[in-house]
A and B are shown apart, each in its own frame.
Chain A
């Protein structure tokens, strides 16, 4: 560099003269890459945010479902307590009802009988006990069912009831 060389320090000149100044195509490439990364990042964050929100919502709904089930069970219990026979008897007595003392049966000609035939013979099934019957008939799926369930579970990438949140 000679001593009489003029150097301009104006920013426009500095930018124009820097050795690594990019060409317009390269710059466009950079911008595209940045835009793609930004888009992927935005998609990821949006997705993560949705998953997180949904996860909390599932938890809330699961909790709400449990509460509703419990409330339903409490109401069923309340009904059962109100229907308890000692309570019903006490109430009936209060209302003036009395136990039946003398029952008279009257034969009514041509009274339409129940269409269901009265089954007098039952089918005898040899069952060791009801626990075995339950296990044999219900709890144990067949071989094909087990294999099919395993295949579906493998295909869906879950373990029994797997939910990835």
Chain B
């Protein structure tokens, strides 16, 4: 009897303890951790799906498509819930152009999920979606596509598989182009479907705006074709071309060779991605004499008709500077200094200016600073000034003819454009218009500063025109007054300069009295000739002679005659 009582008490004790545990758990769930479990439950039946926004398009100034998004599908399967693998395999095989057995093996696999084929065209993906086969999945995915292929790759940049833009316009305007993703949220059933009568929220995605560039694809095409031809023709390693409107700073074309295909950037070397016209710096050589001469004229240390004596060499800061031909040219005027590209002549101007004024002018032309062009990865170049510890008195002499200073091509293009544009330095830019639905922003040209006076700029333009004529430059284009300057820069190597290799360049604009185009050509390490006058200058001409037709820039006599007669400028495309 006692034993039976004991058993009853034991069972009661156990049941009481179990009851207490249950009560404790209930108190924990219902009172102590109520919020956590409530949130958990809420999360379980709440569905939130982010709807990616469509990335904005990029078009050229005439509206031609340069970059857009294409939808592709990734096809996969959950084999365990495919009801009829045989029929499904038959249908997929013909559609996906895959062996039927391979698909059948996937569809009959024991695994929960398996991919079948990725990057399937949109039409095929939509056909598979239309079958509505349980267990067969077609996931849409955006892919950035560049219909012009390799053209403008450095300028445009590319977008990776995660939708992030890199380099060029894609990199600089990445956040803007991405738009704002949408959201679909609401209660869902145990089968994962949204409950129609439940509270739900739908925020539509906002596509990124369309960017219209200042780039003209025709000009870009000519620039790239002629650049490639020049690099191959002159046995060079690389090359760059910048074409801009001096009056506005609008970039019409930017080309770098070699380039890559942004549609398939993964197969290219990473070093090709960088835009050489804004990211790579180089010693400009004699093209820089335009800037030194502008400074000398503007400061009044030399007159445009003045002369100097060229003794063949000059010592600046303990370093002896020679002319490229190691010759003395005697009494020469300023135009001859440019025509014969006399290092001694511009070094004298720099010395006459003095270090403070010389470097002030360099900064006024934008050297050593970013141009703030709207492209990713712009470099500032390198300009040592007397405030820098590593600056030496001799730098004043070498800098005057473009050695010992590093610039980016776009800096040189902007600086020479300032001379073409009445001394006004313009900010280079590549996005002309931003269109977002029915709203749009027109980007206006921006004046950075007055680098030199308009009078100085006009005088220098005349001198540059005359200098090309005197030197019988290969850049001269019949019918047009061209202003410009060649450059042949030695290439710095550890311990000095390379004995033979050079960087040949030409910067010029036309028509000289009313400049419409500035063209900068850089040929890196040409082997057929080391001189800019024999490589970059003829390349300039080949580009310019096509562009004057393409852009309807009339020959000087026709244009001036029309202006004198009070007629509007006629172009080939004008309709009566």
Enumerate chain A interface residues (CB-CB to B < 8 A): 48, 51-52, 55-56, 67, 69-71, 73-74, 76-77, 79-81, 83-86, 89, 99-100, 103, 105, 107-108, 111-114, 117-118, 122-127, 129-131, 133-134, 137-138, 159-165
List 29 interface pairs A-B (beta carbons < 8 Å), by A numbering: A51-B197, A55-B194, A70-B122, A70-B140, A73-B54, A73-B68, A73-B69, A74-B71, A74-B123, A77-B70, A77-B145, A81-B147, A85-B218, A86-B151, A107-B558, A107-B561, A108-B570, A111-B570, A113-B569, A117-B568, A118-B569, A126-B446, A127-B443, A127-B446, A138-B434, A138-B441, A164-B199, A165-B186, A165-B196
Closest CB in chain B relative to A18 CB, distance in Å: 43
**CB contact under 8 A between A131 and B149, given known A113-B568, A117-B568:** no
- CB-CB under 8 A from B123, the residues of chain A are 71, 74
Contact of B441 among A70, A105, A112, A137 (CB under 8 A): A137
Known pairs A137-B441, A161-B203, A162-B201 / 4 extra A-B pairs, C-beta < 8 Å:
A55-B194, A108-B570, A117-B568, A129-B374
Q: How far is the CA of A140 from the CA of B199 in the complex (A)?
A: 30
B221 at the interface (CB under 8 A from A): yes
Flag whether B411 is at the interface (Cβ < 8 A).
Answer: no
Smallest Cβ-Cβ distance to A123: which chain B residue: B444
B155 to chain A minimum Cβ distance, whole angstroms, is 15
Which 3 pairs across A and B sit closest by C-beta, in order of nearness? A113-B568, A125-B444, A80-B147
Chain B residues near A122 (CB-CB < 8 A): 247-248, 444-445
Q: B134 near A: Cβ within 8 Å?
A: no
Q: Is the CB of B549 within 8 A of A124?
A: no
| Minimal Cβ-Cβ distance residue in A for B429 | A130
Q: Which residues of A contact B554 (CB under 8 A)?
A: 105
Contacts of B65 in A (CB 8 A): 76-77, 79-80
> Residues of A contacting B434 with CB < 8 Å?
130, 133-134, 138
Q: Once the chains are docked, how many angstroms separate the CA of A143 from the CA of B148?
A: 43
B163, CB-defined interface residue at 8 Å:
no
B369 to chain A, nearest CB (A): 15
Min distance, Cβ B448 to any Cβ of chain A, angstroms: 10
Residues in chain A near residue B69, CB distance under 8 A: 73
The answer, yes or no, to whether B321 is at the interface (CB within 8 Å) is: no
Say if the beta carbon of B462 comes within 8 Å of chain A: no
Give the CA-CA distance A28 to B178 in the complex, in Å: 67
Q: Is the CB of A130 within 8 A of B443?
A: yes
- Chain A residues with Cβ below 8 Å from B108 are none
- B563 (CB) vs chain A CBs: closest residue: A118
Q: How far apart are A92's CB and chain B's nearest CB, in angstroms?
A: 13
With A67-B126, A86-B149, A161-B203 known as contacts, the answer to whether A111 contacts B576 (CB < 8 A) is yes
In-complex Cβ contact of B197 among A48, A76, A105 (8 A): A48
A67, B151: Cα distance in complex, Å: 29
In whole Å, how far is B374's beta carbon from the nearest beta carbon of chain A?
A: 6
Least distance between A93 CB and chain B CB atoms (Å) = 13
Q: How far is the CB of B116 from chain A (nearest CB, A)?
A: 21
State the Cβ distance, B333 to closest chain A Cβ, in Å.
Answer: 32
Q: How far is the CA of A26 from the CA of B148 in the complex (A)?
A: 85
Interface contact B574-A165, CB-CB below 8 Å: no
Distance between Cα atoms of A127 and B448 in the complex (Å): 10
Provide the residues of chain B in CB contact with A137, threshold 8 Å.
441
A111-B570, A125-B444 are known contacts. Are A160 and B122 too (CB-CB below 8 A)?
Answer: no
Contact pattern, B 433-444, Cβ under 8 Å of A = 1, otherwise 0: 010100111011
Chain B, residue nearest A84 (CB): B148
B165 → A minimal CB distance (Å): 13
**Interface residue? B447 (CB, 8 A):** yes
**Contact mask for chain B residues 174-206; partner A; CB cutoff 8 A; 1 contact, 0 none:** 001000000000100000001011011111100
Q: Which residues of A contact B149 (CB under 8 A)?
A: 84, 86
**Shortest Cβ distance from A118 into chain B, in angstroms?**
6
B562 in the interface (beta carbon within 8 A): yes
B212 vs chain A, min Cβ distance (A): 11
B487 interfacial by beta-carbon distance below 8 Å: no
The verdict on B111 contacting chain A, using a C-beta distance below 8 Å, is: no
Q: Which residues of B contact A55 (CB under 8 A)?
A: 194, 196
**Across-interface contacts of A100 in B (CB, < 8 A):** 546, 549
Cβ–Cβ contact A129 & B569, under 8 A? no
Q: Which residues of B contact A118 (CB under 8 A)?
A: 568-569
State the Cβ distance, B162 to closest chain A Cβ, in Å: 20
